[in-house]
Amino acid sequence: MAVRPIAPDVLTTGSPPRLIGGRHRASGRMVFPLPQDRESYERVELPSRGSLWSYTVQRFAPKSPPYRGAQPFQPFALGYVELPGALIVESRLTEVEFDELRLGLSLELTATVLRHDEDGTAVLTYAFRPLRDARA
Amino acid sequence: MTDVFIVGIGIHPFGRTDSRSGLQQGEYAARAALADTNLQWSDMQFAYGGSDAAGKADTLVTQLGLTTLPFVNVLNGCATGGAALFGAYNAVRSGDFDLGIAIGFDKHPRGAFDPKPADWGLPDWYGESGLMLTTQFFATKLRRYMDLHNITPITLARVAEKAYHNGSLAPHAWRRTPVSIDAILGAPMLNDPLTKLMFCSPAEGAVALIVASEKKARQLGGPAIRIKAISLRTRPQGSFEVFAPYLDLERGGSATTVASRAAFEAAGLGPEDIDVVQLQDTESGAEVMHMAENGFCRDGDQEKWLAEGRTRLDGALPINTDGGCLACGEPIGASGLRQVHENVVQLRGTGGARQVARKVRNAYSHVYGAPGVSAVVILQC
């Protein structure tokens, strides 16, 4: 099955995937996503593990456009994940029950299918899921 | 520099008025403010006006009169009204003018606000993946705050219940029927922990305020409310705003905290001196967090304050006495001026059924909006 990332330069295709951010060359400040301006920003891969900083559940279907998720709409969790030494990134949360969500929950990055294109190509976006070995 | 006074107020009812365009509602509010002061449009030396989505404010001269006055349009999202008053205040304070008007109006269709990623400097994938919703920002900012400061959902419901109660007593409010705490908690969950009845809605409405120098206010002879301080600020580094794909690890304050401090400093007053408050309440949690961000309580005190009814009309510090955005809806361009209008009403003592129980000398209003802009106005009588 063909797959493609939702856009170039958002996440790497390795296992585990990594988010692609930018480091401001002058100030050292980290940003996400990587800005177009590569003279000012250096490409960096962000840490793949972090902890849940805040969260909510998207209970209703966002407006389309701009939303282009799988149909029919299923509620999904999202939040902000603190990546140590880097930044706090906004992300979908996956493979977790809504009532399991807690501040500080240990998470790892994964790729998840947002939708399928008309030709069947799976469109991948990023999400964080509970860090399995940390829970064992 | 002269002190600046609000000498006239006018409001077009908030909510939905199918028979009038946004501009017509602005005209209605302007005429109401002129009538309140026994003045004519030709007396106005300048105007500041704005709407986010209902047309160009300066075209109001077609209806109000071609007097050739300078009319400055402002556009600052949810702080548009605050920015209009900020401009009007400075025009008088500088001594260049001694009488003018600030007008804010808007008309948003049901379910308005569908932002395009490119307009916000964001890539298309951000919107495609379902992360570009203002309600998510409110919910995630609130979730963390509630967990860190032990705020529970009933406090959110109490804020909304108070809003609908106060709205039922305000003739210009949109939602004029009280709603029970159980109904608010039991409404459909939109973005946890916020239910549908904890959010305000896009709406319509207009407000106009006439400002004057001290000398002019004295000449006019009517009730004059002093603008003790007005501040308009944009966000500092490390703030948490709507549509943020990432946040800095090092957390900072907010546009609100900066605007609030600046206003208190300019007024020579502190939160303890304030008798009535209007806060940005896009949703229940915003009012809760803004109570602390504006310095009226410590983080976490809100749980007790709401349980004790301290922010109700008969409480020690009434907040959002006309029901705020929750009961009035949020016509972006008018919302900040509605708060100031409400404080003038409370300071004049003409609030009728919603007049607060305590004596009012200093009144505070705070508006906040995307992408991180806040305006605070402190009034005194």
Residue A15 CB contacts under 8 Å (≥ 6 apart), including other chains: none
CA distance, residue B19 to nearest chain A CA (Å): 28
Listed by number, the residues of chain B in 187-206 with a beta carbon closer than 8 Å to a beta carbon of chain A are 188-193
pLDDT digits (tens, 9 = 90+) for B327-363: 999 999 999 999 999 999 999 999 999 999 999 999 9
Q: In chain A, how many domains are there?
A: 1
Q: What integer pLDDT is reported at residue A135 of this predicted model?
A: 47
Q: Which residues in chain A are closer than 8 Å to B113, comparing Cβ atoms?
A: none
Q: Reply yes or no on whether the pLDDT at B11 is more than 50.
A: yes
Distance CA B30, CA B208 (A): 5
- Closest by CA to B222, choosing from B137, B97, B348, B342, is B348
Mean pLDDT over A69-84 rounds to 96
Q: Reply yes or no on whether the pLDDT at A136 is more than 80.
A: no
Task: Report which secondary-structure segment, H or E, holds B230.
Answer: strand B225-234
Q: How far is CA B297 from the centre of its chain?
A: 20
- Beta-carbon separation of A103 and B147 below 8 A: yes
Q: Reply yes or no on whether the pLDDT at B47 is more than 70.
A: yes
**Which residue from A minimizes the CA distance to B148?**
A103
CA distance, residue A132 to nearest chain B CA (Å): 24
- Beta-carbon separation of A56 and B147 below 8 A: no
Tokens of A95: 């493979």
Q: Reply yes or no on whether the pLDDT at A31 is more than 70.
A: yes
Interface membership of A22 toward B (CB under 8 Å): no
- Closest by CA to A45, choosing from A36, A35, A32, is A32
Q: What integer pLDDT is reported at residue A133 of this predicted model?
A: 67
Nearest to A59 among B123, B148, B189 (CB): B189
Q: Which residues in chain B are closer than 8 Å to A97, comparing Cβ atoms?
A: none
Q: CATH top-level class for B4-109+200-380?
A: alpha beta
What is this structure's pTM?
A: 0.95
Q: CA dist B17 to A34, A103, B107, B337, Å?
A: 45, 44, 9, 19
Distance CA A44, CA A31 (A): 9
Cite the DSSP H helix spans in B274-320.
Answer: 284-293, 302-308
pLDDT digits (tens, 9 = 90+) for B233-286: 999 999 999 999 999 999 999 999 999 999 999 999 999 999 999 999 999 999
Interface membership of A53 toward B (CB under 8 Å): yes
CA distance, residue B179 to nearest chain A CA (Å): 23
Question: What is B20-53 written as a DSSP string?
Answer: S-HHHHHHHHHHHHHHHHT--GGG---EEEE-SS
Q: What is the mean pLDDT of chain B?
A: 96
- Structural domain that includes position A33: 3-135
DSSP-derived 3-state class of residue B148? helix
Q: What integer pLDDT is reported at residue B57 of this predicted model?
A: 95
Q: What integer pLDDT is reported at residue B111 of this predicted model?
A: 67
